[in-house]
Amino acid sequence: MSEEIRRDEQFFNMADAYIRLANEQCDDEKSGKVSMAMQFAVARFNAFIFASMCNSPEEFEKDRETAVKYFVSQYEEALKENLDDYQNNYTEYMGEKK
């Protein structure tokens, strides 16, 4: 994640809003189902974003694999950063496990 985004309070407020919604949904559904729904939603939204940037079906087809690689790499980077954060702050975030 770029330093510019790390300092962008609005970015984190938007992300936190999605996390709050997911946490609310976990009250009624299993966390795995909520997680899969969020992943599907972000994939659907990113497909829309990519499609809206293309000027033709041919451009879409030509750049499709590049888009997949970009979005997958962005997800992988974000997941690793968050796993590192949880690893470094496990007891604070998760409490003591017995």
pLDDT value of position 24: 98
Over the range 38-60, which residues count as b (16 or more CB within 10 Å of their CB) and which as e?
A: eeeeeeeebeeebeeeeeeeeee
Residue bearing tokens 């972000």: 42
The string of pLDDT tens digits covering residues 29-65 is 999 999 999 999 999 999 999 999 999 999 999 999 9
| pTM, to two decimals | 0.85
Average predicted confidence (pLDDT) for the chain? 93
For each of the domains in the chain, give its residue range(s) and CATH number, in order of start: 3-91 (1.10.287.3020)
pLDDT at 3 over 70: no
Query: Alpha helices, DSSP H only, in 28-56?
Result: 31-53
pLDDT value of position 6: 64
Give dist(CA 38, CA 48) in Å, integer.
15
